[in-house]
Amino acid sequence: MEKILITRAGFDQLDEELRVLRTEDRPAVIREIAEAREHGDLSENAEYHAAREKQSLLEGRIKELEGLISRADVIDPTKLSGSVKFGATVKLVDEDTDEERTFQIVGEAEADLERGLLNIRSPLARALIGKDEGDSVNVVTPGGGKSYEILSVRFQ
């Protein structure tokens, strides 16, 4: 099985989600199913079928999280330094618009662009890997080509 790179914060977030699903959400769905069963005929019981569907989705997510956690290779970015690599927090400036953005390069399981967490497999992250502060990178994205300058590289 392939290891999944993840930061400590990302691992803790997945672990907490799994804990909540197992200890809070799973028992709640079991109660919903039991209550729906009490309403009689299951063939025409919409509440029962909705609760079973919810249980199916919940169990699927639990299995997914268990798989991710079991294959996780937790990386502590504070112990890293040098050029851009997994875990780096990179401040960029768009060379066309002068807009500044900051991203942390993380694994696929914890990527979230809205929170500035950039998937290591994304075109931008792949272009940044191995580069240093002051370097320029050109990235071909679905929206067209972009040029960025690396303003800073931190490991926090």
Look up the CATH number of the domain holding residue 134.
Answer: 3.10.50.30
Contact, 94 vs 106, CB < 8 A?
A: no
Same domain, 71 and 86: no
Q: Do both 8 and 20 map to the same domain?
A: yes
Q: Which of 75, 101, 130 is at the close of a domain?
A: 75
Stated pTM of the model: 0.81
| Residue 75 burial (CB count, 10 A) | 19
Q: Which domain holds residue 150?
A: 77-154
19, 45, 75 - which closes a domain: 75
Q: Can you give the pLDDT at residue 2? A: 87
Does residue 42 share a domain with residue 83?
no
Tokens of 117: 């967490």
Domain tally, the chain: 2
Task: Show the DSSP H helices in the chain as ranges.
Answer: 8-20, 26-37, 46-70, 123-128
Distance (Å, rounded) from C-alpha 89 to C-alpha 78? 11
In a shared domain, residues 68 and 89: no
Give the pLDDT confidence score for residue 122 in this predicted structure.
92
Which of residues 75, 96, 123 is at a domain's end?
75
Contacting residues for 142 by C-beta, under 8 A, at least 6 apart: none
Mean pLDDT, contiguous 10-residue spans, the chain (156 residues): 90 96 97 86 81 95 96 92 94 93 94 94 94 93 87 93
